[in-house]
Amino acid sequence: LVIYRRFEDMFKEAFAEKGLTPNFVVKCDDSRTAIRWSDSGLGIALVPESIAKTYAKGHIYPIDSAKWRTRLQLVWRKDRVVTPLMRQIIALYAK
């Protein structure tokens, strides 16, 4: 398997729950790199769907697993004034 390093722990946990120990042939810091290595025949890449659809030249197989979802966060500088537009964006995702 070729993986985007950011998701390593998430993948290890999901495989362990199924009693499997994955063999990560390569870990990289960019999912586009993982796709390029997969396209060159190095292995199967586990990457975000949006990146796969945009960059992959080979086969794409969607995986539907609640374990393999990430949570995004809104982040901005502490010293930045929150503008009306920023408030609107924050309100879109407020719990």
Residue 92 belongs to some domain of the structure: no
Give tens-digit pLDDT for 19-31: 999 889 899 999 9
CB 22 within 8 A of CB 15: yes
Contact (Cβ atoms closer than 8 angstroms) between residue 6 and residue 49: no
Q: Is residue 16 part of a domain?
A: yes
Total structural domains within the chain: 1
pLDDT at position 95, please? 65
Give the strand order in the sheet containing 26-28. Answer: 26-28, 2-4, 45-46
What pLDDT is stored for residue 32 in this prediction? 93
Quote the pTM value: 0.68
Position 93 pLDDT exceeds 70: yes
Judge whether 59 lies within some domain: yes
CA distance linking residue 57 with residue 52, whole number of Å: 9
- Of 27, 35, 80, which is closest to residue 54 (Cα–Cα)? 35
Domain span including residue 27: 2-69
